[in-house]
Amino acid sequence: MTASILSMEAVSLSFKDKRVLDNLTFSIPRGQTFGFLGPSGAGKTTTIKLLTRQLVKDAGRISLLGRPIEKASPADYERIGILSDTSALYERMSIADNLRFYARTRGVSHGRVPYLLERMGLADSGKTLIKNCSKGMRQRAALAAALVHQPELLFLDEPTSGLDPAARAEVHKMLGELKERGTTVFITTHDMAEADAVCDRVAILNDGAIAACDAPDDLKLRYARNRVVIRTRTRGAFEAAKDAAGAALVDELIRAGELVSIHSDEPNLEEVFLEVTGREF
């Protein structure tokens, strides 16, 4: 079994009288991309802040890189990369200078800067000052800064928010490459399609509690409806149950030469979310 690189056990947090995280339990094996899903205000960013020691839990246990988070050393944090919801680069410095600065603070060579600029689609914009960059360019530059030291564990808080579809696809491709290299990624998003595309496992957060946690395909299967959609030549499309009566109906349609197609009716991740939480995004 792969060792867990990050875990939470019965973690709770309250702000004054309001409980914002309630009994969170999950663990992430090394090399996995773990999605933390939920609508705005569900507690995703708060969870990242707990995991990166920006906040302190009220109860429970958090393990980071194999040791209690309270005992994590500065050297441990050198193995982590973080793109937070407020990550910002220096406005009077160029994109490339910002990346070189972060490479220097991390004690790594500048050699990766051109590669990161290329991968983030910023190769032609390296000399552009951050203050002259669009929101999408800033986001990609901040992501590159979080990756400059090749972290083992990467926290990404809504990394594709504000990106156009092409840039979003580029980031997804980058996440795929990180996975191939064995980087563990903890990603928050409210984009279910994104989670489906890049995550090995997802946890669905609702009102501060985990409502479901599994691989996207397993969740879809678990919440799959017990029916198929049948398309016919003259009778249109209709649903049939996955039982003996449904099988008899299909058999009859085949014999009558009516059957055009049969489709399973699995929910997508967004529909699973609605099913699990009973709310909309």
- Choose, by CB under 8 A, the member of 91, 239, 265, 266 that binds another protein: 91
Specify the residue, 157 or 196, whose C-beta has the smaller distance to another protein: 157
- Are 265 and 229 in contact, with CB atoms under 8 Å apart? yes
Q: Which amino acid is at 224?
A: A
Q: Does 92 bind another protein (CB under 8 A)?
A: yes
Q: Which two tokens stand for residue 9?
A: 């056990």
Residue 162 burial (10 A CB sphere; 0-12, 13-18, 19+): middle
Binding pattern for the stretch 23-62 against another protein, x by CB under 8 A and - elsewhere: -----------------------------x-x--------
Of 24-32, 97-105, 116-124, 271-279: span binding another protein (CB under 8 A): 97-105
Q: Does 109 bind another protein (CB under 8 A)?
A: no
Specify the residue, 74 or 236, whose C-beta has the smaller distance to another protein: 74
Q: Does 84 bind another protein (CB under 8 A)?
A: yes
Q: Which two tokens stand for residue 272?
A: 């699973």
> If binding means CB under 8 A, how many residues of this protein chain bind another protein?
24
List, in sequence order, every beta strand (DSSP E) within the chain. Answer: 4-15, 18-29, 33-37, 59-64, 67-68, 80-83, 153-157, 184-189, 201-206, 209-214, 227-232, 237-241, 259-264
Return all residues near 64 (Cβ < 8 A) that are at least 6 apart.
5, 6, 51, 72, 76, 153
Q: Does 200 bind another protein (CB under 8 A)?
A: no
Of 75-83, 164-172, 181-189, 208-216: span binding another protein (CB under 8 A): 75-83
- Are 74 and 107 in contact, with CB atoms under 8 Å apart? no
Q: Does 71 bind another protein (CB under 8 A)?
A: no
**Which residues lie near another protein (CB under 8 A)?**
52, 54, 74, 77-78, 80, 82, 84, 86-93, 101-102, 104-107, 142, 145
